Structures are given as structure tokens and as C-alpha cells.
A and B are shown apart, each in its own frame.
Chain A
Amino acid sequence: MTSKKQGKESRKLDFSTGWDYAPAPQSSADITLAKRYKHFINGKFVAPANGKYFSTINPATARPLAKVAAGNARDIDKAVKAARAAYRNVWSKMAPAERGKYLFRVARIIQERSREFAVIESLDGGKPIRESRDVDIPLVAAHFFYNAGWADKLNYAFPTRSVKPVGVAGQIIPWNFPLLMAAWKIAPALACGNTVVLKPAETTPLTAMKLAEVMQDADLPPGVVNIVTGAGDTGAALVQHPDVDKIAFTGSTQVGKQIQRQLAGTGKRYSLELGGKAANIVFADAAIDQAVEGIVNGIFFNQGHVCCAGSRLLVQESVAEEVIRKLKDRMETLIVGDPLDKNTDIGAINSKEQLERINAYLKIGAEEGVQVYQSSCAVPDTGFWCRPTLFTGVAQSNRVVQEEIFGPVLAVQTFRTVNEAIAKSNNTPYGLSGGVWTDKGAKIFKVTRDIRAGVIWANTFNKFDPTSPFGGYKESGIGREGGLHGLEPYVTLN
């Protein structure tokens, strides 16, 4: 038996040498970035109250791209006042079909400028151009198109109810899908008649500032969309502003809890999209090769900076060896490097801080005694990089199984029975997403019914569509975004 196994070891596939792909960089020559970006308030670019700016860098080179205004409470106050005035005087009074026209216009401009947006998203955030070009930006346009359609049909969305907007929405978005999260937040808010103050993430503000230009080009009335850049304290100022009617936040569970505490008793409405530790469950009767591809898409998409990433793999014991072998082979073909190269599969880790967080978990994993496997690919010398990583031999009690790592790191566990898989899958404070892989339809229905998570994919993973609601159970958040459900946080129903 041993000798047979050794024989199979020597049958390893070789992905290391031979025909390599020459660099195929997407040109960034046509991209113009200003040296400095001010806040976007009341339809104009406005200098920050304290005159301070901070740098946003390219995580693939660690070099600065531009300076961005550092917002404080005074900037937030100015933005909220502009949003309130626009809400009261213009946007809430406008015929709904007219609101829709503006959103359609924004969607079309984004489509026309999609390549520019994709390149900037990859420069500022480190994600591969293949993803920003084929996933992020097309979805941004799709969300504006989709919600534009609802603007004059809200009475059909909520039949027999009287539908009114909420007012001024404060929206705080993360760095993993910068422009897409802005679209998820702004499009439904505007369609329902609200005005917004948006606070982009500190490390990825550039596409939001480009979006401000789009709002100007679309002739959107001043004050309907306001964008104030800054770090966590800027966001806190927005949460605490007394004249904000609703807070929409996407980010970490820790900050989400702080926001909940601050908002308690204020009467402000809120929706929270927080962390996740989703399990991808692979049964022995699954189409194994396609499941392996789904596992890869689940955890290595966007460097694993995805709140709904399939960061836990639960694989049925009889196929565990095969799945792990094929996963390792597949990982060898993943190309890590320059986000602007069209062949790059895994780009740069978004920031130094995030890389340190991931590395800390790699260390924790090793200290806890789990086996760490990384692909053998080369990574650039400068910038922030992490090779695709597997943790095998892990237990439910390992920290790397329980805690969100938010990087290209997958923890692999085995199971024997369906019920064991469901129990392990649910044994987490999170409940954002899940995946199930099997050839049996009945098993899909059983498992998806019993897993407590907002989104569950069957025989696929990380598929997004503006018509489909997204959101979490438990510590993964409150409220839904996208689809009909995504309108609810932005309307008052009577």
C-alpha cells in the first residue's frame, strides 16, 4: 500500500517550467488622476475644513497615487446639510420617473467609462484587472440600471402600501469592492428618493471620487450625492450626526457592533453588512473538478477579501484526498502579481495592515499545529502579497476556522455525514453565505434549508446579481441589499 502511494506521489503534474505567459499589462496611459482630491459636497469639490490630506497608495508598488481630503465632523456636517437641503427641496419632490432618468444616465456613463474605472479600481485596490473589468464595473452599472427601473415603480414593489423615502442616508463602505459597494448603497437610496452622504474606505477612495465626476456629468442636482473621504473617525462623525436618518454600513463585525451601540436609542435606522466565515460543503457525489474550481473562486476571488468568501472547506472524507490534490494542482496555475496584467489571477493584498493581519493568522495556524500549504508561485519584491494558502488537518476549535481572515487562506476540514456537515457549517458566529456541491437535487434542498446564512450557492459560488438580495444572519449583519428586499431599508411604508 505504501509503495503504491509513493508511486502516485511521483505522478505529480508539473506546472512549473516550460511555456510561460509573457506580461500582458492593461495600459494605464489614458488614466488621469488629480494630485489631490477634495470632498464632493453640494455638487462641488470642496477643500477639507482642517486643510488636511492623506495619501492613497497603490498596494502593488506601495507608491502613492494621489492625495485625498481628510474629513472631520465639520466636513460631515456640511455634507449632511447639503444632503438635507437637496432632499427637502429637490429630490423627494421630483417625479419618480425623473429620478430614474438620472440613475439611468449614471449607469450609461459608467458603462462608457468602464475601462477607466476598472484600471483605477485595480491601481488603488490591488485587485486583478480581470476581475475589476469583468466583475466589479459591469455589476456597478447593472446595479444602477436595476434600481433606476424601480424609481417609478415603488408602488408595485410594495403594493397596497404608501411608500415614502427615509431622508438622508449616511453610507460607509469598505475597501474590498470600492465602487461596487458605492453602487449597492447609492443606487437604491436614490431610486427611493433619499439623498446620501457616502464615506469611502480610507485605502480605496479614488473610484468614488471619479464617481463624483460622473454625478456632475449626469447633471445630478447638487447635494443629492455627497462624498466625504477619511478614516474611521470620519465615518464615526457621520454615524453620530443628529440629522442623518439612516446608516448603511459594510465592513467589519467589530465596527458594526460599535455602530449599533452608538445608534441605540437614537431612532436612526440602520443596515449592516459584516463579516463571514462561509463553508463550502463538497459531497462525494459532486462533480469534483467543477467543485474544485468553485472552491478556488470561493476563496481566491479578490485575494479572499470577500465577506462572503468560502473560507472554510468541508469535504466528505471519501473524496478529501482527491479534492485536496486537485486543489493544490489548481493553485499551482494561479498567477499572483501585477494587478494590471490581464493574466493575473490574484492581485495585491489591499494594504500593509491587512497583510499583517493575514500573516498573523498564518502564524497562528502554524502555532496551532495545522498543516500550511502555499503554492510555489513567485511574488513581486515590492508591494503587499500573499500566496494562495491551504490549512489542512484543522479542527473546528482552531482559530483559523473560527475567525475571519479576509485573505487568500482556506481552512480544510472533512466530514462523514450530511448532518455533521450542516452542524459544522452552522457552528460559527457568522452567517453570510454558504456553498453546497452535490449531484443530488434533494441533498441541495436539505442542506440549503438547514444552513443559516443569507446566501447559499449550489454547485457554484460568488455569483452576484442586482436582482438577488444579499445579507447576513447572526454577526454577519442586519438588513438586505439588492433586489426588492434591498429597497426596504430606504423606504418608509405606511
Chain B
Amino acid sequence: MASTAKLPNLNQVSRVDQVGVEERAARFCARSIKNESKQEALMMVLSMIDLTTLEGQDTPGKVTQLCHKARHLNAARPELPTVAAVCVYPTMVAVAKKALTGSNIHVASVATAFPSGMSTTKIKLEETRMAVAAGADEIDMVISRGAFLQGDTRFVFDEIAQVKEACGKAHLKVILETGELGTLDQVRRASVLAMHAGADFIKTSTGKVQPAATLPVTLVMLQAIRDYYHETGRMVGMKPAGGISKAKLAIHYLVMLRETLGNAWLTPVWFRFGASSLANDVLMQIEKQRTGVYQSLDYFSLD
């Protein structure tokens, strides 16, 4: 992969006007999603979640329980979809893999010195291989923001391409950490760079830096995906992560996705939400749609 991929000329990447992007993003929020459309959207959101726990305090017990939640979002409602993946640190991959045996739920592992990426490429590749060997189906890597902002795009490009190679069959999600990139122009350039280097998905954030995912940032990345698809014919997935904890906001994201990339992307194969508390809010909304009343959070399992 590294040998065939070619570093694109980032000076030719389309400019981004922040005011215009924010206006367009606000317009998606004005869409009114009601009744059966809302029901359908809530189901889609559930099926697109990467249920995530990325804490120093993670224990095998906690991860196992999270995996159970991933398989049975609401034990009393078996007709609900499962989430798309469980996202953990490399040391928890084996635990998650075991707990998810027999399901279609993927195990995603962050890697490459997540969340800062402040390590050597050698260590990052080693960590990637370790996570894949432990059974990870998807790798969420972080880019070297320092190198990118210093203008060393060649280094960042090569690193992504090498990690992609180390992934083997595992899918690679490339985290841009947009909260550290400064401008939407940089977000667009980083998106193009990551896709050309072989990213299967591009992802906004680690969730450890503020601001994390926002509608405007995600819109810029979706537009980059659209143009890359037009240019190369290869579909790339999108994963906003961090800060999306309400069903209503998640539906705004789906509206944006539908009106930017169209229906082909409206599936967990091409779109994910990186979130820990979103699932419960969606479950709450589904119960509200079903029964007409809201229930307290005490009626929904914690993890």
C-alpha cells in the first residue's frame, strides 16, 4: 500500500469558507424529523454506534459488561439492532473479542500512542500489529498533528500508509483530532492526506480534546470524502466522535450525511458515531416514541 499510494498536492485542495460552512451546518438542524422518519433514524443511529470506553480505569469486567450492552441494548426489546462496534484500548481487545464471539459486532481498537500520538513510528506500528493480533477488526489511529502542523505532510502520509499496511485485513480509521488543527482548511487538507494514504474511515477526534466532533467540521470532512470518491471511485467512511451524546444531535448528523453524500453512505459500513452515552439517549427516545412518555435514566443500563 505504502508503495502505491502517492502524496497528493495539498496546495490544490479546495478552500473552505468557515462562515459558509457554519451556515450550511445550521441549515441541517432546521430539518424537522418526525414520526416514522424519526423512528427509522433512531434505529440507524443505534446501528452506527461504536460503543466506546477509553479510560485508564477500564477493567476486563467493565469491558465485558460493555460488550453485553453492545449485544443487548435493551434486553426487553430484542428487535433493536446491535451497535456496530465496541471501541477499546489495545490491552482490552482480547477481552472484548471473547465477549463478542458469535455476534457481528466488530472490535475496534485505538492504537498509535492514542490519544496524543507522541511516540515513534516504530512503536506505533508495533502497537497496531499487537492490537490486530489480539483480534481487532478495526484500528483507530491518530495522526501526528505536530508534524502535520509543521508542514511535514510527507511524514504524516507515510506513517498512515505504514499503519495501514500493519493493519492487514483490519479496517483503518484515521483520527485527525480536528480540535488541534486550528482551521477548517487544515481539516480538509488532513482529510485528503489521510484518504490518499489509505484510510478506510476518517474520524474527527479522540474525544480527549475539546472541541471534539462538530457539525461544521464533519461537513468539511464529508465534502472531502465526496470529492475523493468522485476523483478515485473509492468510498471512504466517516466517524464523528466525542460530544455527540443526544439523539437529536445524532439525527442532525444523519440529515447532513444524507444531503451531502446520499443514501449509499447511510449505513454502519460507511458511517459511525464514536460515543459512550449516545446509545442510552437514543434508547430513551425510542421508548418515548413507543409509549408516549419519557422514562428516567434509571430505566436504562449504565454501560
Contacts and interface: CB of A to CB of B under 8 A. Distances in A.
Interface stretch (B118-126, B190-198, B257-265): B257-265
Contacts of A325: 230
Nearest to B35: A22
A134 interface: yes
Contacts of A418: none
B30 A285 contact: no
Contact of A11 (B15, B41, B229): B229
A310 B24 CA distance: 18
B36 interface: yes
A132 to B, nearest CB: 13
Nearest to B36: A22
A15 B30 contact: no
Interface string B36-72: 1110110010000000000000000000000000000
A287 B262 CA distance: 21
Contacts of B38: 22
B266 A18 contact: yes
Contact of A287 (B16, B33, B35): B16
A290 B263 contact: no
A262 interface: no
Contacts of A285: 15
B262 A459 contact: no
A436 to B, nearest CB: 13
B23 to A, nearest CB: 7
A333 B14 contact: no
Given A287-B14, A288-B14, A18 B258 contact: yes
A24 B34 CA distance: 7
B15 A13 contact: no
Interface of A: 7-8, 10-11, 13-24, 130, 134, 285-291, 293-294, 325, 333, 342-343, 439, 459-460
A8 B228 CA distance: 11
Interface in B248-273: 254, 258-259, 261-264, 266
B32 A290 contact: no
Contacts of A291: 20
B21 interface: yes
B17 interface: yes
6 contacts: A8-B230, A14-B264, A15-B263, A287-B20, A290-B24, A333-B258
Contacts of B254: 19
B30 A19 contact: no
Interface centre among B33, B36, B223, B262 (most CB of A within 10 A): B262
Q: Which 9 A-B pairs have the closest CB atoms?
A: A290-B20, A18-B263, A24-B32, A287-B17, A13-B262, A342-B32, A290-B17, A22-B37, A287-B15
Contacts of B36: 22
Contacts of A290: 16-17, 19-21, 24
A111 to B, nearest CB: 20
B262 A15 contact: yes
A17 B229 CA distance: 20
A288 B12 CA distance: 12
B45 to A, nearest CB: 11
B34 A14 contact: no
B262 A14 contact: yes
A14 B31 CA distance: 19
Given A19-B266, A333-B259, A289 B32 contact: no
Contact of A15 (B16, B31, B223, B259): B259
Contacts of A459: 17, 19-20
B32 to A, nearest CB: 4
A127 to B, nearest CB: 15
Contacts of B40: 19
A21 B36 CA distance: 8
B230 A11 contact: yes
Given A19-B41, A287-B17, A293 B24 contact: yes
A21 B19 contact: no
Contact of B34 (A16, A17, A22, A289): A22
A8 B36 CA distance: 35
Nearest to B33: A21
B27 to A, nearest CB: 8
A342 B30 CA distance: 8
Contacts of A20: 37
A2 B136 CA distance: 42
A292 B257 CA distance: 17
A48 B32 CA distance: 43
Given A21-B32, A287-B17, 8 more contacts: A7-B233, A10-B233, A11-B230, A22-B35, A23-B34, A24-B33, A289-B21, A333-B259
Nearest to B223: A289
A223 B158 CA distance: 78
A19 B32 contact: no
Contacts of A286: 15
B171 interface: no
A15 B264 CA distance: 9
Contacts of B258: 15, 18-19, 333
Contacts of A294: 20
B246 interface: no
Contacts of A18: 258, 263, 266
Contacts of B30: 130, 134, 342
A134 to B, nearest CB: 7
A16 B262 CA distance: 8
Contacts of A293: 20, 23-24
B6 interface: no
Contacts of B266: 18-19
Nearest to B230: A11
Given A293-B20, A342-B32, A459-B17, A13 B226 contact: yes
Interface string B185-211: 000000000000000000000000000
Contacts of A22: 33-38
Nearest to A129: B32
Given A18-B258, A22-B37, A289 B263 contact: no
A291 B15 CA distance: 10
Contacts of A343: 31-32
Contacts of B230: 8, 11, 325
A164 B101 CA distance: 86
Given A19-B41, A21-B31, A130-B30, A11 B17 contact: no
Contacts of B19: 290, 459-460
B57 to A, nearest CB: 38
A460 B20 contact: yes
A285 B35 CA distance: 43
B14 A19 contact: no
